[in-house]
Structure 1
Amino acid sequence: MLPRSSRRTTLSVMMIVRDEADRVEACLQSVAGWASEIVVLDSGSTDGTTDIVRRYTDKLWVTDWPGYGPQRNRALDHCSGEWVLSIDADEVVTPELRDEIDRVLDEPERDFTVLKMPWKTYFFGRPLKHGRYTSPQAKLFLREGVRYRDHQVHESLLMPRRKDRVLKAPLEHYSWRSYQHVQEKHLKYGCLLAGQKFAKGHRGNLAYAALRFGTDFLQQYLLRGGFLDGSRGFLMAVILGQYAFHKYAALWALEADAATPPSTPPPAP
């Protein structure tokens, strides 16, 4: 466990987890003793995740799964710190990032309400240096008055006043266990986003889905410099193109299913 931080401000670390026994401990080790408290909501793990979490905090709640936004709001309701760091089980707070957060939060005059930190995302053994998965993430925020949007996925912060500051030290990010996992995760998120869009009245078509594959691939590979990451950058650009395709193809499929009349059983002979 890390030595207790000398930071004057209180900091809650919150996490939402399910079946993360293979990587949650590294995340917890990176904040245990440094954070004022660790709040974890587990949505039904069966792999021993909760046993690991209990070694680091007694603020663990086992719940159902209402979606990412509602679940983060549940976790936020249990936080008591002045500031909240929302991280996932696949992320690790480095010593450099801890030190920078302590220094910034103890500045005498703070005109920011959100601290964003660069993602150091590992992809098949090496960090990506360009593209979407290196963008600074709004993970640390002043708690008062904050809620997450009630979205199933890609939930964002709602704040009474927002002013960002970007830190220099990165947050390490180990998002994918394998090639199969990276594909499954993007397909899952794509279908969830399609469901959100469909509920709001959006409709899709396959031609637009194919167009988005091309534009999102080019944006990641060329405009955002993915080609500079070599073969990993090319593969990630393809995956993000597929992700865009999945969103709009799934939206088209939802529309097609909704327009299909229910089948009726044949009359009895």
Structure 2
Amino acid sequence: MPEVPVSCFIISKNEGDRIARTIRSVRPWVREVVVIDSESCDDTVSVALSEGCRVITQPWLGFGPQKRFGEDQCRNDWVFNIDADEVVTPELAREIIATFADGDPKFVAYGMPFEMIYPGAATPRPMARDNWYVRLYNRRFTRFRDSNVHDAVVTDGYPVGAFRAPVFHYSMRSFAEMKRKLDERMWLLAKNADLSSKITLAARLPIELPVNFFKYYIVRRHWTGGLTGLRYASIQARFRFLKIYRMWRSANAKVGPENFAA
């Protein structure tokens, strides 16, 4: 594949069993791959080094700050961010390469679809529709948000280009891991949320679970995943309900987020 003037950076922690697949999906067409490792205790670092990456150890700063740190380590203004459980499809790689064929791309940022892969599967479910994120951008104009909770690229009103081909997202090794990660993330979101409106939170409690089930099962088309899709949508809905419940409980107890009980 032709090389484009792009630095790819990956944040990681204990991803030694799958980061090589991620690196190999970008290494042939980017100028460098930089891995920002959060003190892994497995072989993540040695795997990344063996794949030709530059590895920098950085204790965890929070989602946004960790990715902003990664941006700063890149040698090119054009950067591509991918997580250690994501894989660029060959079709997307070709789209990105074509964008640089005539010099600088038309837009300063580009988004792309992300399609989730169920545990044990090799390809997405039929008609997958999961997320759309900006991940290729010129850091001179736009960067990741400086937020401990959210890791989104802030485009500041710049027009954003769109790629059609997806990134495959192997977001969970198992459903047990999915539940653990969701529980951690929902606690984090609840602790950092605005607890000012108890009435609003109370009103959301009875509808949060069915609304989120509809979102994941119908809107994001997990119904095409059979029983696995039903299970996935149910777990997502449950933990998003728990987030609102935890926020409501905290607001009614008149305590700050730092006093949340486990």
State the TM bucket, normalised to the shorter chain: 0.7 to 0.9
- TM-superposed CA distance for 1:18, in Å, is 0.4
Contact map agreement 1:130 1:229 (CA 8 A) in 2: no
Q: Is the 8 A contact 1:132 1:220 kept in 2?
A: no
Cα distance change, pair 222–258 in 1 and its aligned pair in 2 (3 A): same
2:146 corresponds, among 147, 150, 157, to 150
Cα deviation for residue 222 of structure 1 reads 2.8
Q: In structure 1, what is the Cα distance between the partners aligned to 2:79 and 2:233?
A: 32
1:66 and 1:165 mapped to 2: Cα distance? 29
What residue in structure 1 maps to residue 133 of structure 2?
137
Check 1:145–1:202 CA distance in 2 against 1; reply closer, same or farther (3 A cut).
Answer: farther
How far is 1:257 from its partner? 7.2
Query: Partners in 2 of 1:85 and 1:131 — Cα distance?
Result: 23
Provide, for residues 136-160 of structure 1, a one-character-per-residue CA deviation record: whole Å limited to 9, x for no partner: 3211112213222222233221235
2:234 paired with 1:238: yes
- Number of aligned residues: 253
Q: Could you tell me the percent identity over the aligned residues?
A: 29
> 1:30 matched to which residue of 2?
25
1:169 corresponds to which of 165, 172, 176: 165
CA contact (8 A) 1:209 1:247 kept: no
- Give the structure 2 partner of residue 42 of structure 1: 37
* Mapped partners of 2:18, 2:219: distance in 1: 33
Match of 2:175 among 170, 179, 197: 179
Alpha-carbon shift at residue 235 of structure 1 (Å): 1.7
Q: Contact 2:209/2:241 (CA < 8 Å) preserved in 1?
A: yes
1:210-249 pair list within 5 angstroms: 210-249=206-245
Instruction: Quote how far apart the aligned CAs of 1:52 are.
Output: 1.0
Report the TM-score when normalising by structure 1.
Answer: 0.84
- 1:112 equivalent in alignment to 2:100: no
Q: Which runs of 5+ in 2 are unaligned?
A: none
**Distance 1:110-1:35 versus aligned 2 partners, 3 A rule:** closer
Partners of 2:69 and 2:245 in 1: CA distance: 32
C-alpha separation in 1, matches of 2:145 and 2:173: 28
Q: CA RMSD in A?
A: 2.5
- Whether contact under 8 Å (2:16, 2:43) holds in the other structure is yes
- Alpha-carbon distance in structure 2 between the residues aligned to 1:100 and 1:215: 35
Q: Which residue of 2 aligns with 1:18?
A: 13
Q: Which has the larger radius of gyration?
A: 1
